[in-house]
Structure 1
């Protein structure tokens, strides 16, 4: 017999569903009510024996490198620390249709092709400064990339943000978190170091 969820687990599920809807990642908000997103997030464990479910091992590694460049480790864990690339692999498998999966894989292949053409190495082997320069060009859709490549990068950033901020570290260490929020404060002083709030 299944045990009922404790209140904290129900609150976390509710928060994940709302965050999925807010992120606007293609295909996620429409499927959130079916529980597919929650299953994907829960299934993407961080153990060393992780086996990719859609991406190849090389594609998974590249996704991790890209995710870490998008949300690097600072005073809080980075995207790789929370296993964002693994969550993305699961999200693509259970929430994305075949054409979107193919576009994602093609976007990764395009980045590898440009890295080989520009630096003679795979993207992960390029110096950090060169990786950042290529991602800036990709973000802007400027040479050697094109507008379609820019669309892929926006999709990737959406996936990374969703995977990161639905992780425990993203929701409680990067964002401020109160299990039971206090009363309304209409004149709350913000500073440059003030953190955003996780959705409760």
Structure 2
């Protein structure tokens, strides 16, 4: 839980909070105040809240590999790794925090064993190959590693799509959706709707 005595509450602006509450209601979810506060993650350059600087850097590289920059900003550019750090601190219990950090350490140990370097120093193609093995739970990774990676992807997706760029530039955004259009021509640049 977020300890508001140690730090001031970080809340997203009112419009964003309202939109998230509406999305949660539409999905049948009850969003807690901690999860909504996590959307207002710390700014770039501030110290990590739970992770070490090395773990935060690794999380940033992993986030960018999960949602890379295209014609829209990638996960690293929107600070998804910092939001993940904040989510871990504010919304995750100590055993799960430890498991997450162990998952990061496992990636580093496999990278060192196979490439002789930290994961962040490996060539891009090697990083992608390791993540494919991790996602499949293939050797040298196992099912626990695979579960960690799926959790990380969920955190990164949440962090990215609740960012301004994710919600308005990656997804199409229409504050007041129009009527039903039954036959929409899809092209390669057609985007999914945020609301």
> Is 1:119 paired with 2:119?
no
Report the secondary structure of 2:40's partner residue: helix
Structure 2: unaligned runs, 5 residues or longer: 1-12
| Structure with greater helix percent | 1
**Other-structure match for 2:180:** 184
Is 1:13 paired with 2:17?
yes
The number of residues matched between the two structures is 182
Counterparts of 1:41-52 in structure 2, within 5 Å, are 41-46=39-44, 48=45, 50-52=46-48
Deviation at 1:148? 0.7
Deviations 1:54-112 (A, max 9, x none): 00000000000000000011110000000000000000000011111111000000000
Partner of 2:54: 58
Q: Deviations over 1:156-177 (max 9, x none)?
A: 0000000000000000100000
Pairwise CA distance, 1:129: 0.6
Q: Who is 1:78 aligned against?
A: 74
Q: Distance in 1 between matches of 2:95 and 2:133?
A: 25
Secondary structure at the counterpart of residue 43 of structure 1 = coil
Using the TM superposition, give the Cα deviation of residue 17 of structure 1 relative to its aligned residue in structure 2, in angstroms: 3.9
Q: Higher relative contact order by CA 8 Å / sep ≥ 6: 1 or 2?
A: 1
Provide the TM-score with structure 2 as the length reference: 0.87
* Correspondence for 2:132: 136
Equivalence map 1:96-115=2 (5 Å): 96-115=92-111
Change (3 A) 1:101 1:21: farther
* Structure 1 residues 35-70: Cα deviation after superposition (integer angstroms, max 9, x where no partner): 111212213223x2x111100000000000000000
